[in-house]
Every structure is written in structure tokens, then in C-alpha cells.
Amino acid sequence: MNHSLRFALRPTTLILFSALALAAPRPAQAQATPAPVAPVAPVKPVPPTAKAVAVPPPYAAVPDPKPGTVLAPVFVADTSEVPELQTWGYVAESLCQTWYPKVSAILGADDRKRKPLSRVTIFFKKDMKGVAYANGSDLYIAADWVKAHPDDYGMVIHELTHLVQRYPSYQASWLVEGIADYVRGHYFESATPMRPINFDKAKYTDAYKTTAAFLIWVDENRKKGAVQELSIALSAGTYTDALWKQVTGKDAPTLWEEFAAATKAAKPAVSASTAPPQLR
């Protein structure tokens, strides 16, 4: 065989062998096992809002606060001790967030003139006695009270009012508590019937609902805006009993006598537009 021919055929032979090799079936390659994917934590459902629970709407008109005077804090409910009250806690959160500016407008409060609150925690306490209280920067609510009185949202408004007040001292404590119930009864629960006041025993300094009823009557029948003026004076630390005559033209005892006479003459019992319901 001619050697030149033999070597000339070699490239063709190599190409043929390569083609056969490419055409030959290849063993199936094992598919790579995908890396395990970590399970995704379920998304926590959005907590229920105030819409999930029936809450009395504001029946009385509330004035708008003056621009720039309200620096509302963020309200956060802490129901860690009583998780079964989580829904109620979110309702309280919503109420406070909505009503802080309203109460500020009602009382003429000005956050620019004092250290504003940035965050308020509403603590629901498992073993707390009583009802609720405000310590100046937070709210504390007895869980047992909420369980026994699940519709008592007015209590939240009462304590919220104390946060708005933040008076420098607890002078005239009867008036401080009366103003808190004035906000609750006149604005938040204005459509709720009241129980009659026993004027044979009651005094305008009895605080809470009795003083609140008196304040509502004075504001509506003797001097519109009187309660706001009293609150502003308490805020400034300038309140004295003499302020009643300065604001209304009459002293508090005289106004009380007039309130008693008007209420007795209006029997049967007046509606909550003249006095708030039983609050405690």
C-alpha cells in the first residue's frame, strides 16, 4: 500500500470516528438534587382594628385643634400579660390615636408649651386592682375590669384626657377628674342616658360624673368655653376658685345652686347632653 495514500486517509478516518462518537447515545446524567429551601414563616395576620368592635361614635361635635398645637404621640397596646385582650387593646390604641387631638382641642391644650409625649404604652395588667390610671406618660388598665366591662371604652377616654391634661400639679383634684369625665360624657358618650344626681347629698366638688354634669351645664347655659378656660388655667398653674367668677360672672357655689334648681325643674332626668352616665 502506498504510504502517501495511507497517511492521506488518516484525517478522514479520524473525522469518521469523531462523528460516530458524537452520534453514540450518552448515558443519562443524574439530575442535581435541588438544595432544600427553608420554609417561609407564615405572615402574621393584620391585627383587628377598631372596626372589628362596636365603638360609640362621637355624637357631639369636636372642634379642630389649632394648627401646630398638637404633637400626638404613638399609642401602642401591650397585652402580653393577657393576650386574650389583644383585640380590645387594638381598639384602645385606635381610640387614643384618634381622640388625642380631639381632647387637646376640647381643652385648648398646647403641646408646644410643654415636653411632648413621643410614645405612650397602654399596659393591660393581669393582677391589677381597680380600673385604670395614667402616670403622665403611659396608661395602665386592669384586665379584670375590661373582661367584666367589655363595652367600657369611655374609661379609655377618661384616662387619655389625663394624658392630655398633664397639669403641673394635682391642685383642685375634684376639677381635674371632673374635666376628664366631662370629655367622656359630653363628647364620647353624649347619647348615653344618665342617672339623676341626688342633690340632697351631692356637691360640685364630688369629682367624676357629678362635677362633669355641673361643668356641662355651666358650659352650655352660662359660659360657652368655660371648661376650656378652667383647663388652661390648671395647665398654667394659675387656677384658683376665684376664676369661676372671672370666667362666668358667678362663683361656683352659686352656679351649683342654679344647676340643681334647673335640673330638678327638668324632671324626668335630663339626657346625657346635660350630664354624663355613671362612670365608676
- When the pLDDT of each residue in the chain is averaged and rounded to a whole number, the result is 81
Question: What is the model's pLDDT at position 40?
Answer: 37
Centre a 10 Å sphere on the Cβ of residue 37 and count the other Cβ atoms it contains. Answer: 6
Alpha helices in 149-251 (DSSP H): 154-165, 173-183, 208-221, 226-236, 243-248
Report, at the CATH architecture level, how domain 56-166 is classified: 2-Layer Sandwich (3.30)
- Whole-angstrom Cα Rg for the chain: 36
Higher pLDDT, 2 or 168: 168
Contacts 24+ apart (CB under 8 A), 249-254: 249/222, 249/223, 250/222, 252/204, 253/204
Question: What is the model's pLDDT at position 21?
Answer: 41
179 confidence band (pLDDT: 50, 70, 90): very high
The residue-averaged pLDDT of 72-85 equals 97
pLDDT value at 96 more than 80? yes
Summarize pLDDT for 236-249 with one digit per residue, the tens. 999 999 999 999 99
The residue-averaged pLDDT of 266-279 equals 47
- Return the bridge partners of 121, or none: 76
222 and 279 in contact (C-beta within 8 Å)?
no
Distance between CA atoms of residues 245 and 233, nearest Å: 14
Query: What percent of the chain is helix, strand and coil (3-state, nearest 5)?
Result: 50, 5, 45
- Return the bridge partners of 78, or none: 123
Question: What is the model's pLDDT at position 57?
Answer: 56
pLDDT value at 13 more than 80? no
258 confidence band (pLDDT: 50, 70, 90): very high
131 and 280 in contact (C-beta within 8 Å)?
yes
Q: Any idea where the domains of the chain sit in the sequence?
A: 56-166, 168-280
Who contacts 123 (Cβ-Cβ below 8 Å, separation ≥6)? 78, 138, 139, 140, 141
The residue among 101, 79, 102, 99 whose CA lies nearest residue 90 is 79
Question: What is the model's pLDDT at position 122?
Answer: 98
pLDDT value at 82 more than 70? yes
Pairing of strands 139-142, 119-125: parallel
> Which pTM was predicted?
0.76
**Lowest pLDDT segment from 41-55, 86-100, 245-259:** 41-55
The residue-averaged pLDDT of 2-15 equals 40
pLDDT value at 268 more than 50? yes
Summarize pLDDT for 15-51 with one digit per residue, the tens. 333 433 444 454 444 454 544 443 433 433 445 444 4
Higher pLDDT, 124 or 50: 124
